Structure 1
Amino acid sequence: MQGKALATVTAAASLLALAACSSEPSGDSAGAGTTTITYAFWGNNDESATIKSMITAFEKANPTIKVEANWIQSDYEQKLQTSIAGGDAPTVAQISNTALPSFANAFTPVQVDSGVYYSQAVAKAGNVGGTDYAVPFVAKSKVMAVNKAMFDSAGITVPSGSAPISTQDFVSAAKKLTSGSGEKKVYGSAPLWYDGWLIAEGGSYYSPDGQTCTMGNADGIRAAQTVVGSTRPDGFAPNPTDAQGQDMFQWFADQKVAMLPDFGPWNIAKIAALDTSKFLIVPMPGKGEPMEVDSLGIAKSATEAEVAAAKTFTKFMSTSPDAQNLLASTTSALGVPVIQGSLESFKAIAPRVNLQAFTDAVTNAVTTPYVKDKVKIESTFSTDLNSRTAIGSGNEDPATVLPELQSQCQQMLDATK
């Protein structure tokens, strides 16, 4: 009788335990009342450390939510796609605005308050086809670094820290700053990036409505010819062979190149460590360069409890100074804050090199239209451009090649409609 009573008590206790477990929200694996979410991101060691410090700040402010960091160190987009296809998607995934169209179907729509951000380009970064699928949290605008000492030695006016020089003035200065030959040659500029220089010259891949390919027009041809001409024997930038495997920032620090276009925020810690009286950050020439904005998408497959926790997390990362103030430091810079309240903290990291140029670039960034199959179209274009012209391994005239590639681009674009 006593054994039967004990068995009955044990069974009842078991049923109560099961009932308690079934009442817990999905994702609750860190203790009663705590919801656990996973967060996938990429980056080098320093960038990973920055992200983890932001997670720590979040968990301190939100003790009922635990965030498991999923640092993917290589092939990020491929591995993210594999995890989504396999039913093991992270609750929150970091995604760039360029890759978002390919992943939007895996994310649940979110509400983005555009008034929170000081740049409309940032506010629109998570939008695909009129719907917001990700919350922006860091901007990666491009500027140009210049060696003031080399400009002074050549008797050339140092570019303004606030107003961009024209692309024509850039080329003229780069030629004057180039001297010597062979291993002792000093270059006016590091290699130019065609996609960036296309924007600088006032061109673009597509028309503002995203319906027409435009890279083969006069602006696109001029941009390509400038890039090709810059690496000729009498040019002002190292050719692909000479530049391969070389650290252009080190060349810049060693005064082997005078200007470093396509200068991203990940270089802030490096330039802050130099003699900042000799170096300056200025706007990119002309119309600037494309800006990447990394956002945070919430998995469509997440449970209700996980989605609620993920919304709290993404809002914190995107709008809280406690997170945004950690984006950049003298040891590592993930990017530029997207909220006004963190800009002074950002600029104070290296006040003598003019970090204001980065925030100006965020504000003035050129926005690109949503284009279906954007990655496939642009990858095909870039592969062909590099194989046929001296931007890569070819030798054909860009004036002949680009109109043909534009026509091919238009065929691919029309096929998506």
Structure 2
Amino acid sequence: MRKTLAAAIAAGSLVSLAACSSGNGETGSNSSAISFAFWGDNAEAATIKSMISAFEKANPSIQVQPNWIQSDYEQKLQTSIAGGAAPTVAVISNTALPTFASAFKPVTVDTSVYYSPAVAKAGDVGGTNYAVPFVAKSKVMAIDRTSFQKAGLPVPSGSKPMSTQDFVTDAGKMTSGTGSGKIYGSAPLWYDGWLMADGGSYYSADGKQCTMGNAAGVRAAETVVNSVASNGFAPTSIAIQGQDMMQWLSQGKVGALPDFGPWNISKIAALDTSRFTIVPMPGLGEPMEVDSLGISKSANAAQTTAAQKFTTFMSSNPAAQNLMASKTSALGVPVVKSSLGAFKSVAPKVNLQAFVDAVTNAVTVPYVKNKVQIESTFSTALDSRTAIGTGHEDPAKVLPQLQAKCQSMLDAAK
């Protein structure tokens, strides 16, 4: 799963962040100026800065100081908040929001603005909205049509997801050869994503019970483990270490690339679109990240007013949302319907509607306190003990044990 969260400010330290924002939300001597913290690579940062420029053009009395954060984002953001130097506005993912909610002001979210129920609820923590939706990062699957055709298989639909069982069967049929010349039906599966795609989940719908150790969780883990066995349909993590799976797809070394995020749009659009395209993830799809915009609790009245105008513009105004994707870079999928045409136009031959459908149909993940810590602990143990990572233990034995550990952490967080 691709997720680069950062926190060294563009200048390379917290000093620049602190210079732009004091503990009471002031930015410099101009009470109508605000600071804005975000992460991303060079192209993504350029996209966000273009959105900032669009806002400043529409609101000339408000200056936005960009704080481009390039590594250890959450850690350094937490440090800046604790040190009284929080940015006025910060991008925050829905997975991290429960940890940061206490640092943000409650906000009003007009849920009717957003076409996806999951997006509309992304800023909700315990019944209160602490952030305004900004960008959706849904997952799809990139495919090489010729791999399916050579194996005598139908090319997957661009709108109707394959079943998870059909995908496993087809991936096996597309796999051939041995050693360094082996052709794989699929790139490696991501357990968390496959768990949801195959009907499982980390938690019960109310977020009170850990469920990854039940039959669905074990089934998903066994599929991932079997896929990287010597007779499996996906390469091991060791075999692909340091290598680009998009390159493997373009070279015909893998037939399908699940867990395909919108940041790869420019890469697949540069290939032969008569051969390569994107389709829905199999089954129920993978978890979707939604990045939202939180306003610092320490912002004063003038800063808060300016920040509210800024977050509303960035989250719902086409002048900003239309810039979400270009031929060279994509932050993700727009969260407002009026900007979807602009999004799909950047690569009209690559079925970008699949990304939009994934946003529309995304499952809302329940609010869980200490979610990041719980899931990090679980994933680390799962990787170390089973062949999903470097271990050798049976998932059917390991997962119930890890579920019990998850439940104890979940109960302690209440």
TM-score normalised by length of structure 2? 0.93
SS class of match (1:375): helix
Distance in 1, matches of 2:27 and 2:305, equals: 11
Matching of residue 29 in structure 1 with residue 26 in structure 2: no
Distance in 1, matches of 2:393 and 2:401, equals: 12
Alpha-carbon offset, residue 26 of structure 1: 5.0
8 Å contact 2:26–2:34 — kept in the other structure? no
* Residue of 385, 388, 393 corresponding to 2:385: 388
Distance in 2, matches of 1:303 and 1:274, equals: 50
1:377-406: CA deviations, max 9, x gaps? 111111111111000111011011111111
Q: Give the alignment of 1:122-137 within 5 angstroms.
A: 122-137=119-134
Letter paired with 1:29: S
Task: Return 64-73 or 347-356, whichever deviates more.
Answer: 347-356
| Corresponding residue of 2:293 | 296
Distance in 1, matches of 2:71 and 2:373, equals: 20
SS class of match (1:169): helix
Matching of residue 325 in structure 1 with residue 332 in structure 2: no
Letter paired with 2:307: A
| Corresponding residue of 2:84 | 87
Distance in 2, matches of 1:96 and 1:26, equals: 24
* Residue of 244, 247, 257 corresponding to 1:260: 257
Distance in 1, matches of 2:257 and 2:135, equals: 22
Q: Give the alignment of 1:366-385 within 5 angstroms.
A: 366-385=363-382
Matching of residue 155 in structure 1 with residue 143 in structure 2: no
Distance in 2, matches of 1:298 and 1:286, equals: 37
* Residue of 166, 173, 181 corresponding to 1:184: 181
Matching of residue 355 in structure 1 with residue 325 in structure 2: no
Letter paired with 1:229: N
Alpha-carbon offset, residue 27 of structure 1: 4.1
1:326-346: CA deviations, max 9, x gaps? 000110000000000001111
8 Å contact 1:178–1:186 — kept in the other structure? yes
Q: What is the alpha-carbon root mean square deviation over aligned residues? A: 1.1
8 Å contact 1:28–1:35 — kept in the other structure? no
Letter paired with 1:205: Y
| Corresponding residue of 1:233 | 230
| Corresponding residue of 2:67 | 70
1:209-267: CA deviations, max 9, x gaps? 01111001111001000000000111111101101111111111111111000000000
Q: Find runs of 4+ consecutive structure 1 residues off by over 3 angstroms.
A: 25-30
* Higher radius of gyration, 1 or 2: 1
Distance in 2, matches of 1:215 and 1:52, equals: 40
Distance in 2, matches of 1:348 and 1:255, equals: 27
Give structure 2 stretches of 5+ with no counterpart. Answer: 1-24
8 Å contact 2:140–2:279 — kept in the other structure? yes
| 1:28 to 1:388, Cα distance in 2 relative to 1, 3 A | closer
Distance in 1, matches of 2:62 and 2:252, equals: 49
Distance in 2, matches of 1:26 and 1:366, equals: 38
Distance in 1, matches of 2:76 and 2:352, equals: 34
Distance in 2, matches of 1:188 and 1:181, equals: 13
| Corresponding residue of 1:209 | 206
* Residue of 240, 244, 250 corresponding to 1:243: 240
Distance in 2, matches of 1:181 and 1:49, equals: 44
Alpha-carbon offset, residue 271 of structure 1: 0.7
Matching of residue 112 in structure 1 with residue 123 in structure 2: no
Task: Return 174-183 or 56-65, whichever deviates more.
Answer: 174-183
Distance in 1, matches of 2:379 and 2:96, equals: 16
Distance in 1, matches of 2:88 and 2:293, equals: 10
| 1:222 to 1:372, Cα distance in 2 relative to 1, 3 A | same
| Corresponding residue of 1:145 | 142
Task: Return 192-201 or 146-155, whichever deviates more.
Answer: 146-155
Instruction: Count how many residue pairs are aligned between Structure 1 and Structure 2.
Output: 390
Alpha-carbon offset, residue 28 of structure 1: 6.6
| Corresponding residue of 2:161 | 164
Alpha-carbon offset, residue 29 of structure 1: 3.5
Distance in 2, matches of 1:210 and 1:287, equals: 19
Give structure 1 stretches of 5+ with no counterpart. Answer: 1-24
| Corresponding residue of 1:414 | 411
8 Å contact 1:167–1:200 — kept in the other structure? yes
8 Å contact 2:325–2:343 — kept in the other structure? yes
8 Å contact 1:27–1:305 — kept in the other structure? no
Matching of residue 364 in structure 1 with residue 361 in structure 2: yes
Distance in 2, matches of 1:401 and 1:132, equals: 37
Distance in 2, matches of 1:235 and 1:226, equals: 10
SS class of match (1:41): strand
Alpha-carbon offset, residue 181 of structure 1: 1.3
SS class of match (1:240): coil
